[in-house]
Amino acid sequence: MGIDTYHGRAHFENQNTVIVGEEKLRGKYIFLATGAKPRNLNISGEEDRTQVRS
């Protein structure tokens, strides 16, 4: 368990599936972070997150 990050355009296929680029992701819970700056979440796997700067 942890955090996986994906970057790109995303849309929901249904209530348990989100498509990011060409990847289809399924899960019971889906968390979308769309802000410009990551926030500390205090959850397992947080130390593995990535930050993209443009």
pLDDT 10s digits, 27-51: 998 887 776 666 777 888 777 766 5
pLDDT band at 17 (very low <50, low <70, confident <90, very high): very high
pLDDT band at 12 (very low <50, low <70, confident <90, very high): very high
What is the residue extent of each domain of the chain? 10-48
Higher pLDDT, 54 or 21: 21
The tokens for 17 are 């599936």
The tokens for 41 are 């979440």
Q: pTM of the prediction?
A: 0.55
Q: How many CB atoms lie within 10 A of CB 46?
A: 13
pLDDT band at 54 (very low <50, low <70, confident <90, very high): very low
Euclidean distance between CA atoms 15 and 10, whole angstroms: 14
Buried b (16+ CB within 10 A) or exposed e, 30-40: eeeeeeeeeee
